[in-house]
Structure 1
Amino acid sequence: MKKQQGFTLIELMIVVAIIAILAAIALPVYRDYTSKAKIANAVASLAGEKIKVGENFGAGKSGTPLCDGALTGVCTATTTAVTLKGDNQTTGTADTTVTIVATLPTDSTGQITWVCTVTKSPTARYKDRNCDNLG
């Protein structure tokens, strides 16, 4: 009698089950990773706008002129606060939105306090969280 070679059906089913378990573990971790990357991208897209607001504040501007030089639709300002809103896409509908609010000091020698919040995220875990506490 010849010895049969190859895999039995049960061996193949075990391999498929192992791959399914690994995929079930890896996909949520990957989704979290991509969400954090999209948030980091949105925060980085606002870095230049923060610098422009800081320069304008240092030059003695207040209110709407604080947004001079910033992208249209990204920056809104009042006499006491500046709001920067950015996302992770340049066209289409963004699935991640970050809002950074600046509290302005009473004089131009004070420090601007920036508070970053994730207002829209593909992963509910990161929605309404501070951008610095995403761990």
Structure 2
Amino acid sequence: MNAQKGFTLIELMIVVAIIGILAAIAIPAYQDYIAKSQSGAGYSEVSSLKTGYETQLNEGKIPTKLSDVGITAVSSTVCDYAINAFTATSGQVDNAITCTLKGNPRIATKIISLNRSATGAWTCTTDIPATDDKFIPKGCVSGTAAKGSIVAL
């Protein structure tokens, strides 16, 4: 007799079910990973602008546009940037430099904001809710963050 070789329908259905279960677990985890990395990249990009802001302050200038702090574009693939000029002689300003995140729907339109105290200390706040703390970059706290008002180059 000639023996048949191959898979039965039930064996194929079991394999498809296993793949479906793995995909149902992996896809949300991957989406969360992407959102976390995008918020971290936004924090990294906006933090790099502190040096330019401090340079302007030390030279006695008030940064009024993004090019003053060393950025040549209002937008990147990660953020839309904005800047608030300080009015106090100490250089203190809330939401000095802000990044409105793009990308994953879990973090899109959320804001990462850098604030400068009168003593020159920088803090980071974000409007990513504390319930989504896995998306909040290290060094930032959930709180009130508002978009900066000046976006001119």
Instruction: State the TM-score, normalizing by the size of structure 1.
Output: 0.69
Answer whether contact 2:116 2:123 (CA < 8 A) is retained. Answer: yes
Moved over 4 A (4+): none
RMSD value, Cα: 3.0
TM-score (norm 2): 0.62
- Once residues 17 and 133 of structure 1 are traced to their aligned partners in structure 2, the CA distance between those partners, rounded to angstroms, is 42
Quote the offset at 1:49 in angstroms: 1.9
* 1:34 matched residue in structure 2: 34
| Aligned counterparts of 1:115 and 1:130: Cα–Cα separation in 2 | 10
Distance in 2, Cα, partners of 1:45 & 1:60: 24
TM-aligned CA distance change 1:48 to 1:40, over 3 Å: same
Query: Is residue 2:132 matched to residue 1:125?
Result: yes
| SS of residue in 2 equivalent to 1:25 | helix
Q: Is there any run of 5+ residues in structure 2 with no aligned partner, and where? A: 75-80, 141-153
Residues 95 and 120 in structure 1, CA contact (< 8 A), matched pair in contact too:
no
Amino acid at match of 2:93: A
Distance 1:133 1:21, change over 3 A: farther
Higher relative contact order (CA 8 A, sep 6+): 2
Deviation, structure 1 residue 46: 1.0
Aligned length: 119
Q: 1:81 maps to which residue?
A: 93
What is the alpha-carbon distance in structure 1 between the residues aligned to residue 93 and residue 44 of structure 2? Answer: 20
Which secondary structure state, in structure 2, belongs to the residue aligned with residue 74 of structure 1? strand
